[in-house]
Chains A and B, each alone.
Chain A
Amino acid sequence: MIDFIEAIGQYEYLQKALLTSIMVGIICGVIGCFIILRGMALMGDAISHAVLPGVAISYMIGINFFFGAVLTGVLTAIGIGFVSQNSRIKHDTSIGILFTAAFALGIILITIMKSSTDLYHILFGNVLAVKPSDMWLTLVIGIIVLLTVYLFYKELLVTSFDPTMAQAYGLSTKMIHYALMTLLTMVTVASLQTVGIVLVVAMLITPAATAYLLTDRLWIMIFLSSAVGVISSVIGLYFSFTYNLASGATIVLIATLLFTIAFFFSPKYGLVWRWIKVKRKRSALAD
């Protein structure tokens, strides 16, 4: 541990990795809350895979992968909505069809580019190789995401909780849905370096689900979720650095560990406390 802290002071690449992981932990935690409350966990998985062809195309034509990724991510979200609204195909089926198609296309494009190391890093993350430009990109995305959620908190809350009422008083639930999908795509792009495409969904869902077990207020849930995201990122980075493991995998496993603790020991919703309360009540009645 001391080594790790010393190394952070010493190596610039590690400082960048740490800052990027912290930012990713925060924004994934924030957006993840809305994703799980809207029942869109699968959608999170879909969008994260759907950015792959965009990343490949961006490399091919030599632009920043951010633009290509957002483009294919959002196009896939629109495609999913279009198929499920205009046929009897259910939403989750539509998600399954479109994101696997996009992902398959991405794999072929990257193979054509003959860059299998890039593919490995995009799929599983390599936070220790974060470039300065990536760090700034993450920072800009972070600011956009946090500002949007701050400014439209009311609208996000009401459309998640009671979309019918939101629509009745004139909010466009469709527009807010696609805005959220755009934010989700941006968060995914920001997370590519740290956790990689395959595991982004865990960073979106696991911290948010942990927070969901700990509170009954949305704004507290958002803060707790970010905190869980940050703690997982930092500890995960430590293990990744010390034992030379894929950063995505270590970060996700720490998040899972925190979720497990909340699952059993959350004061209100934890399995253990519920069990103890029932026991106490029963023994009190037995006396």
Chain B
Amino acid sequence: MSCTNVQNLIMPYLDGDLSKDESNAVEDHVQECRKCARDLDNSQYLSRLLKDNLDLPEAPKDLREAVIETVAEPGKDGG
């Protein structure tokens, strides 16, 4: 497998979207190719950083109640 092919497969590889054969091919390649191994390493590191550091606030406590109030307002009759 060429470096270009491997480059294109790094993201799906990290995301677990590749078939077993494709995954094996990527793994074989990075055993031999330092450049692709480093790219894989960098990509993995960035994925980890993003996953660990996304801003994930909880929904406000009263959101559910506010929504229910909104949709319960007159206008449509559910039966």
Q: Do A and B bind each other?
A: no
